[in-house]
Structure 1
């Protein structure tokens, strides 16, 4: 039954919707993900002016690394290996396509999450698809927003946390011989210490951990590329030819390449799932489009950089046979064996360590998504949140010691339903998103280096104007930082 639903969702419905939303918004926004690619660095630089606001909100950079912590996980190491094993090298090409279109989708959903965010009692913001569905589409869609929150809780809060724990524990056992039971207990203890500190502590940990793990993995990939410079054009040709069925007997043919590329690409970068907007909404920024631009870049980091690193490590090794199937290893073990083939046995330990860091940061991110889904129902029962945290700690420990084949299949279905709900909502919210983008474009065209959002002008969209009260001293710091005109609203 799970396989049947997966085939329907991933083989037909979601491919059509992902293309419709990603390509549709790319064209409607005049290729926003490419037009503002360079601006992302200026936005992150200017975000430091907002980092010291008196309310202690998260900066744009902190929200970025928190979302990267979630996007960059087991899917970048184990997921890419699975895609290549089942779909052939061509699956990598379709992952790239999903990534480039996903940048526009991520801009769309994260801009909307910022626009429709609300103030929380603890001085932070809350937002995400449930909020932009309820506020942007009206009361008659409230049940859809509630459904999305429940699916988010099941998929990320419960299912994916167990899966990440399993991937980390089995990798540590393969590389270092550590029993999965001990890995599960240790991981659960560290996770517990952090999640009881709330989103601000999670962001502080991610701010340090994510750049270190991403740069470390990128560095080892560059070493592999340097050792195989003469073979890189051939591997790129293999990827492209396999994507269109022009190579003999690779993976499961062109259909498998497309399905695995789309499925694992979405699993990895999450563009269209609506998970990252929950994090994007917490940032304190002068304009919603700021975080849309930044979050589009996080998809680029995940798919075009980190996933490509894994793909080239595997395809340049002697472990994977492009004329047939991989050897008797798959998943994370394939990536470990491939890196060991390049640099020696220490490569196996390196992949395991990287997966531990990726998986650990993703568990923190998944926890926050689960907490945010509970918070949507406006509960003030702190015992409920405490119970959820205890349950997460238990799931992390349990997931490390359990065969999760059925859980993985179930999570694929709920993830597909999550994407289905969010993508349909995004289609209906194209117009308000384009209106926000036009405001951003117009201010830049008028010479404003850092546009500022005037929520009162968008009151008819049912935005929370209280969540857009920018402190005058913050605007002044922003003006001094950019050395340019900042439009005071």
Structure 2
């Protein structure tokens, strides 16, 4: 087992190393430039479409709004609380700046993913729309690339059980145990029942729950974070200055902070940013492919908001709370650091973080269940859906009560490997994305005909 762990750890250091981070940022920048910086310039348009997309009569299974909420249910998770804290604890305040950079170019990546997902989606044997990297590789590229789609589906179906199930359940169990003394076994059983009740209804039930729960949980957490920022309002200019200076100059050791080089700020900022918003990993377009729309560009404009909301808003709230409170020098890391930051401002701060973490992780289990299910369905057909859902539900209490060091390492590695076939496909399909975008904004009809 130790040898296997060492092998996976070695692979992990490569797939989350310099080449991968350059690849993710490079493809995002290439798409952003090719789109003429449209994702940034048309951000208000995206929010207008999101508001209008609460209902839709177009072909599809869920509304454009709920498609984004389903995507956000998977992306707004432990990465927004524990991931940001880890990035700052290891890379210093400058890591937050590099998370912002990752998010800005990631908006172009997420936009392109959704455009391709709607353009190349198809209907399965149950009459439901399915799509994502495996489908836009299969339907958008020549047959010689088909193996890439299969590879993505294999990585996604395995990674989901760790990163989208076991790790999330474990995070909920740990948070509720440390804050309220609730047994991990009890948490695991309750989570299993709740997840099972939602999964029975498929994507429509998942999207309905996400459409109600995600906005509420995000607003709750943002409000608490703004409370921390308001309390330390006079220090905000200095915090901005510290973030910017730390992004380009080494941070000396102080308090419990061990110090960090610029490279550490870049590496942990980019890696945790990608882990949080998932731009480039290829997971979110699986949800957007099910949207009730025939216009891929409109869904792309809605999809790119996921990266903006996840990183520019929610992750920034966490980052500023940690920096403004001064807890980033305490030596703590992960969710414990975020809990200390909120706890130093509110007497119930640790409870707020525990509740937020529990809800974030629960919705992540739901969102990733759909991603993983579609990967399994691509590999084995619709007959695999029911067995998958049973196994997924049963895996929840196991994750809540187990030590997940190896599972986390394996899932984190496979999660990064999902990006490789997806990024290759996005580059090869970029001419299609650019053309559809130009046509849409020039007033041409680009609706997809079934």
Short-chain TM bin = over 0.9
Could you tell me how far 1:343 is from its partner in structure 2? 0.9
- 1:252-267 pair list within 5 angstroms: 252-267=260-275
- Map of 2:398 onto structure 1: 398
Does the CA contact (< 8 Å) of 2:92 and 2:251 recur in 1?
no
Could you tell me how far 1:452 is from its partner in structure 2? 4.5
- Map of 2:3 onto structure 1: none
In structure 1, how many angstroms separate the alpha carbons of the residues matched to 2:163 and 2:250?
37
Could you tell me how far 1:183 is from its partner in structure 2? 0.8
- Map of 2:28 onto structure 1: 22
- Map of 1:340 onto structure 2: 343
Does the CA contact (< 8 Å) of 1:171 and 1:333 recur in 2?
no
Does the CA contact (< 8 Å) of 2:179 and 2:351 recur in 1?
yes
- 1:223-242 pair list within 5 angstroms: 223-242=227-246
* 1:439 and 2:432 matched: no
* 1:268 and 2:276 matched: yes
Secondary structure of the structure 2 residue equivalent to 1:274: coil
In structure 2, how many angstroms separate the alpha carbons of the residues matched to 1:88 and 1:3?
24
Secondary structure of the structure 2 residue equivalent to 1:400: helix
- Map of 1:418 onto structure 2: 418
- Map of 1:282 onto structure 2: 290
In structure 2, how many angstroms separate the alpha carbons of the residues matched to 1:11 and 1:245?
21
In structure 2, how many angstroms separate the alpha carbons of the residues matched to 1:114 and 1:372?
15
Q: Which stretches in structure 1 are left out of the alignment for 5+ residues?
A: 444-450, 456-464, 467-489
Could you tell me how far 1:378 is from its partner in structure 2? 6.2
Per-residue CA deviations over 1:319-358 (Å, capped at 9, x if unaligned) read: 321xxxx33x3211111121111111x1111111011110
TM-score, normalised to structure 2's length? Answer: 0.94
- Map of 1:154 onto structure 2: 158
- 1:195-344 pair list within 5 angstroms: 195-249=199-253, 251-321=259-329, 326-327=330-331, 329-344=332-347
Q: Cα RMSD over matched residues? A: 1.6
Could you tell me how far 1:416 is from its partner in structure 2? 1.5
- Map of 2:187 onto structure 1: 183
Q: Which stretches in structure 2 are left out of the alignment for 5+ residues?
A: 1-6
Does the CA contact (< 8 Å) of 2:87 and 2:268 recur in 1?
yes
In structure 2, how many angstroms separate the alpha carbons of the residues matched to 1:57 and 1:396?
26
TM-score, normalised to structure 1's length? Answer: 0.87
- 1:118-157 pair list within 5 angstroms: 118-157=122-161
Match of 1:453 among 443, 446, 449: 446
Does the CA contact (< 8 Å) of 1:94 and 1:262 recur in 2?
yes
In structure 1, how many angstroms separate the alpha carbons of the residues matched to 2:362 and 2:447?
38
Query: How many residue pairs end up in the alignment?
Result: 440
Indicate the structure (1 or 2) with the bigger Cα radius of gyration: 1
Per-residue CA deviations over 1:232-281 (Å, capped at 9, x if unaligned) read: 11111111111112432364311111111111101100000000000011
Secondary structure of the structure 2 residue equivalent to 1:248: coil
Q: Which stretch shifts more, 273-282 or 434-443?
A: 434-443
In structure 1, how many angstroms separate the alpha carbons of the residues matched to 2:8 and 2:94?
26
